[in-house]
Structure 1
Amino acid sequence: MKKTAIVFLFSALALSCGKKEKERELLWEENFDGSELNESVWNFELGDGCPNICGWGNNERQVYTKDNHKLENGNLIITAKKINDSTYTSTRLTTKGNKEFKYGYIEAKAKIPTGQGIWPAFWMLGSNIDQVGWPMAGEIDILEYVGKEPHMAFTSLHTQDSHGNTINTKKTEIKNIEEGFHTYAINWTENFIEFFIDGNSVYKFEPKDKTTEVWPYNQPFYFLVNVAIGGNFGGPEVDDSIFPQEFIIDYIRVYSN
């Protein structure tokens, strides 16, 4: 090898070693330590959605309670149960009014429940939903899984422009998604939202048109974590033999971009 080539090689290596990737600043994290949820952060949404939004808008079968969750070994565990011939119970949590974020790299580590009729989700809604309604407020589905479609993860966005329909979406096949823990994340900037599963990019939404109807993502959003049962997306059939099922969340973290 010529001397000039050797000098060039070592210079390139030195530059590479000298560069440090931009470190993200941790803005907030929930590690689910302790024995009880922090209710200054987390709200419970209870019941079947009636009378305002029966079946939570999707003909879901579950009734949400405060009793279908626990904190154990640094995990949040939401347990979906079949109580009797016609009653299913679960838990739905939000950070509305308590922890809301505009932009950032947002990640959760979770182990999903499985089986026909199960529908766990880690998602976000716009903080102005009480003023403008859904879907004008916007929705970010960082993770959705439905047991009737094994090995598939859904990442979606709902806007007024899409009339709330699942148009801005990606279904990604992940063979081992039902096994162990996986990470589900978004990188949300003023220009785009990019979705990641286990660190791999799976979908990016970057519209040129940034009207409110197309891009409601220039305001704070809050988190929701829940397990639904049946409904328009998770059902309609439900295999009662699968219950109980657990949705286990290790952490939720928010970093700067």
Structure 2
Amino acid sequence: MTVFALIAAAVVSVQPATTNDPATQSPAKTSASLPKQEPHRPPNGYELVFSDEFNTDGLPDPKKWAYDTHRNKEGWYNNELQYYASERKENARVEGGILIIEARKETLDPAQFPDWGKQKYTSARLFTQGKAAWTYGFYEVRAKLPCQRGTWPAIWTLPEDPDVVWPNGGEIDIMEHVGFEPGVIHHSIHTKAFNFGRGTQQTTSHTLETACTNFHRYQLLWTPEFLLFGVDDAPKFLFKKKKTSVSRWPFDKPQHLLLNIAIGGDWGGRKGIDVDALPARMEIDHVRVYQLPASKD
């Protein structure tokens, strides 16, 4: 486990790239001083509060992971085309020390899957809601991404409170990727004030050429004052708390973690779906969350 190798008092300007993604277009430039951290270790004083090393083959650990399936019948947000399965090894399984989330081209038997909404693709959306949620901390997910056109994998967080309406409670996208732009990694935040509906979203993107062939560590350092996103200890995007308004900074309440592959949709399906390239996998080697003792929920 390593953390960002940051240079003390270095001033880093992050110039987010403009994309056509409705969730990431026209981002603002962010400039701030990055905090000092020791390289090659979690931030000083942080303790491991959650981990899954995926050492036991079979379905994901039910003590740590649940399945988000609540929109299967009516269809998922962003005009996505997948059905998210629950406890189905074809779509989510641990195999050889790796969590595999697999998107497939197939239809299902409604007698066996009564919430099936006639989708032609299946996948999985794992989350920790109701099992683990955190306010602040250092997050690391070591993953290898799918690059098939039409795939839309993500590692992200949402409010633990199910009554909070998006985007009021904030969304943290630790990593997003779309298959028609292989190796382009996106980091974003969404709030009531900063979201794509208003054209004010905050995001950055960068190219990681081996994202789909090698494992990389996607990281987030979340404190009461900033969100710092990184890959393999390199800082990529810093979002600072500049005002106390909850519309700009709602990130002081617990959020749970999500792992998924969407298929198609307004962004992921912009250039179609390469059906012949399916199935597609996101492979995850580990998930770890660290916190300061005073921050533990």
Q: TM-score range by the shorter chain?
A: 0.7 to 0.9
Asked if 2 retains the 8 angstrom alpha-carbon contact of 1:78 and 1:227, the reply is yes
Which residue in 1 is equivalent to 2:280? 245
| Partner Cα distance (1:176, 1:204) in 2 | 23
Where do residues 1-257 of structure 1 align in structure 2 (5 Å cutoff)?
22=44, 24-35=46-57, 36-46=59-69, 48-51=71-74, 54=75, 56-66=76-86, 67=88, 68-83=91-106, 87-128=120-161, 130-163=162-195, 165=197, 167-236=201-270, 237-256=272-291
- Mapped to 1, the partners of 2:276 and 2:45 lie a distance apart of 46
What is the distance in 1 between the residues matched to 2:188 and 2:73?
A: 26
Q: Supply the distance in 1 between the matched residues of 2:159 and 2:71 (Cα, whole angstroms).
A: 22
**What is the SS of the residue equivalent to 1:154?**
strand
For 1:12, the equivalent position in structure 2 comes to none
By percentage of residues, which structure has more helix? 1
d(CA) in 2 for partners of 1:143 and 1:106?
A: 12
Residue 242 of structure 1, CA deviation: 1.1
Structure 1: state its 5+ residue gaps.
Answer: 1-20
Q: Over residues 197-222 of structure 1, what are the superposed CA-to-partner deviations in whole Å (9 max), with x where a residue is unaligned?
A: 11100000003112111111001100
Structure 1 residue 132: Cα displacement: 2.5
Instruction: Label 1:86 to 1:22 Cα distance change in 2 as closer, same or farther (>3 A).
Output: closer
> What secondary structure, in the 3-state scheme, does the structure 2 residue paired with 1:101 have?
coil
Q: Secondary structure at the match of 2:266?
A: helix
Identical columns (%): 36
Q: Distance in 1 between matches of 2:269 and 2:105?
A: 15
Q: Which runs of 5+ in 2 are unaligned?
A: 1-42, 108-117, 293-297
2: distance between equivalents of 1:86 and 1:249? 25
TM-score by length of 2: 0.74
* Aligned pairs, number: 233
Separation in structure 2 between the aligned mates of residue 167 and residue 218 of structure 1, nearest angstrom: 19
How big is each residue's C-alpha offset from its partner over 1:173-196, in whole Å with a ceiling of 9 and x where there is no partner?
122222210000001000000000
Report the CA distance between 1:256 and its aligned residue: 2.4
Q: Distance in 2 between matches of 1:246 and 1:163?
A: 29
**1:62–1:229 Cα contact (<8 Å) kept:** yes
| Aligned residue identity for 1:176 | T
* Contact kept in structure 2, 1:116 and 1:146, CA below 8 Å: yes
Map Cα deviations across residues 34-88 of structure 1 (whole Å, 9 max, x no partner): 133222321112275444xx3x211001111132111111211011111159611
TM-score (normalizing by structure 1)? 0.85
